[in-house]
Amino acid sequence: MNKAQVSLQFKTFAVDCKGTSKIYEFLSNCISKDDQILELGMKTRSGQPVTNLLFASVHYLLLKGKDHSLKEFYPSVSKHPRNIDEPDFFSNFKDFCAKYKDDIVYLLRHKLVQTNEVRRCAYLYPVFCWIYHKIEKPLSLIEIGTSSGLQLLWDQFSYSYGDEEIYGNKQSNIHLTSEIRGESQVYFLPNSPPVASKVGIDLHISNLEDAEDYLWLKALIWPEHRERLELLEQAAECLKENPVKLIEGDGVTLLPEMVETTPKDSVICVFHTHVANQMPKESKTRLEENVKAIGRFRDVFHLYNNMWDGELHLDYIIRGVEHKKTIGKTDGHGRWFEWNIEEVD
């Protein structure tokens, strides 16, 4: 990746951050015009988003306790953060990157962007309700790019969508809210659909019992987003009480093997969110081929976004017949999602 491409990534990221993170919006705009930081970003490992990885690396080092005045601007580190409008904010950022360049380069080359965005479960829930109502079989969940497996806990959370109705696990102490956009009627089950089995696969499993892995997941959360951090911490506790099977490896390659271990009277649900953009084209194609191969002998659903475009898709094969539906756009942090598919047939 050349300097112009890295610059464009930061310009685009600045737009994505508008209204949600003043810190990252400001820094992205500055970095897009700064040769020193752009050259640093070029050291990011292939296939990883430069913006997220660079910001997470700096955030990680600050959370870890590196001594620098930059920490005074981060609300996740300082109880009384300084205003980012102060003229020395970016100069502090640049100085931090220069002082800890070797540490940052190591993280850029060895870490992965594995954000476990718990609120994304708010749009997973209605999709799994839709699937269960259509097929009337327990769900066997296989998540590719699972990180620490927190999205596999979607059936353990409760949900609301702008009114007083509560869905899902009503006894849960984790409650997720989201806004629904679109004209189509969303189908909700009052209680979570039955789940027959769960397994998550990732090239590197983030072990929440490991202090370094847990700190990295926290570093991936944007500095101002206190609620996201709280949801991560709550879901981490929920995972202790509801452990899931996590396997380290290539999810595309291991998928056929994982299907063989699922209960025969269940429906296969392969899903991944904000993961496929990190896959090479040949892996995406092979994943679709593997799903089609599964569909020759089992009913299978494939739920995903950020693979060929940014929208949420549901492809499925029932009794050998293939179907494709586009659900719509989703907010990266799950605050809203579009719903553009019809009611269950």
Tens place of pLDDT per residue across the chain (345 aa):
789 999 999 999 999 999 999 999 999 999 999 999 999 999 999 889 999 999 999 999 999 999 999 999 999 999 999 999 988 999 999 999 999 999 999 999 999 888 789 999 999 999 999 999 999 999 999 999 999 999 999 999 999 999 889 999 999 999 999 999 988 889 899 999 999 999 999 999 999 999 999 999 999 999 999 999 999 999 999 999 999 999 999 999 999 999 999 999 999 999 999 999 889 999 999 999 999 999 999 999 999 999 999 999 999 999 999 999 999 999 999 999 999 987 655
Tell me, what's the pLDDT at 337? Answer: 97
pTM of the model: 0.90
Boundary (domain end) residue, out of 110, 131, 148: 110
Q: Same structural domain for residues 99 and 244?
A: no
Boundary (domain end) residue, out of 65, 90, 110: 110
Tell me, what's the pLDDT at 345? Answer: 58
Tokens of 175: 């409650």
Sort strands 312-318 and 321-328 into parallel, antiparallel or unpaired: antiparallel
Q: Same structural domain for residues 297 and 313?
A: yes
Q: Specify if 343 maps to a domain.
A: no
Tell me, what's the pLDDT at 164? Answer: 87
Q: Same structural domain for residues 285 and 158?
A: yes
Tell me, what's the pLDDT at 157? Answer: 98
Q: Same structural domain for residues 245 and 162?
A: yes
| Secondary structure E strands in 32-166 | 139-144, 158-160
Tokens of 18: 């508008």
Q: Specify if 144 maps to a domain.
A: yes
Length of the chain: 345
Q: Same structural domain for residues 318 and 233?
A: yes
Q: Same structural domain for residues 47 and 80?
A: yes
Q: Same structural domain for residues 29 and 176?
A: no
Q: Same structural domain for residues 145 and 245?
A: yes
- Eight-state DSSP code of residue 79: S
Q: Which residue has the tokens 């070797």?
A: 102
pLDDT tens digit sequence for 299-322: 999 999 999 999 999 999 999 999
Q: Same structural domain for residues 236 and 272?
A: yes
Q: Same structural domain for residues 166 and 29?
A: no
Q: Specify if 61 maps to a domain.
A: yes
Tell me, what's the pLDDT at 343? Answer: 67
Q: Specify if 95 maps to a domain.
A: yes
pLDDT tens digit sequence for 56-74: 999 999 999 999 999 999 9
**Residues 63 and 215: beta-carbon distance below 8 Å:** yes
What is the number of structural domains in the chain? Answer: 2
Amino acid at 25: E
Contacts 24+ apart (CB under 8 A), 315-324: 315/288, 315/291, 316/131, 317/291, 317/292, 318/134, 318/135, 320/295, 320/296, 322/292, 322/295
> Which domain, by its residues, includes 213?
118-338
Q: Specify if 296 maps to a domain.
A: yes
Q: Same structural domain for residues 186 and 227?
A: yes
Q: Same structural domain for residues 233 and 98?
A: no
Boundary (domain end) residue, out of 57, 76, 110: 110
Tell me, what's the pLDDT at 344? Answer: 59
Q: Specify if 33 maps to a domain.
A: yes
Alpha carbons 238 and 172: distance in angstroms, whole number:
9
Q: Specify if 43 maps to a domain.
A: yes
